Amino acid sequence: MDGFSPKGAAPRPAEDFLGARKLEPGIGLCLSGGGFRAMLFHVGALTRLNEAGILPELDRVASVSGGSVAAGALAVGWARLRFDEN
């Protein structure tokens, strides 16, 4: 589905490959599972995303297992974070 309609027809909302409506624009982050090793990896990735100026631009985070530990810590500390101003 490409979101376009025949000439004169009402426009259809954009859809993904399963036919569901697409989400609003924004930056999402997915943190995978893998227990303690995943959590440690995600700490490094979050640090680098902050250094690159991307972390404060996140709109949503999805996670499982060890990634959820990192996501939870990020959520709890979000208000106290000092983002790099590079």
Helix, strand, or coil (residue 59): coil
Helix, strand, or coil (residue 24): coil
**Could you give the CA distance from residue 27 to residue 46 in angstroms, rounded to a whole number?**
14
Give CA separation, 32 vs 21, 43, 53, 60, in Å.
Answer: 24, 12, 21, 14
Among 59, 69, 67, smallest CA distance to 30 is for: 67
Using one digit for the tens of pLDDT, what is the confidence trace for 21-70?
A: 776 788 899 999 998 899 899 999 998 998 888 999 999 999 999 899 99
pLDDT at 9 over 90: no
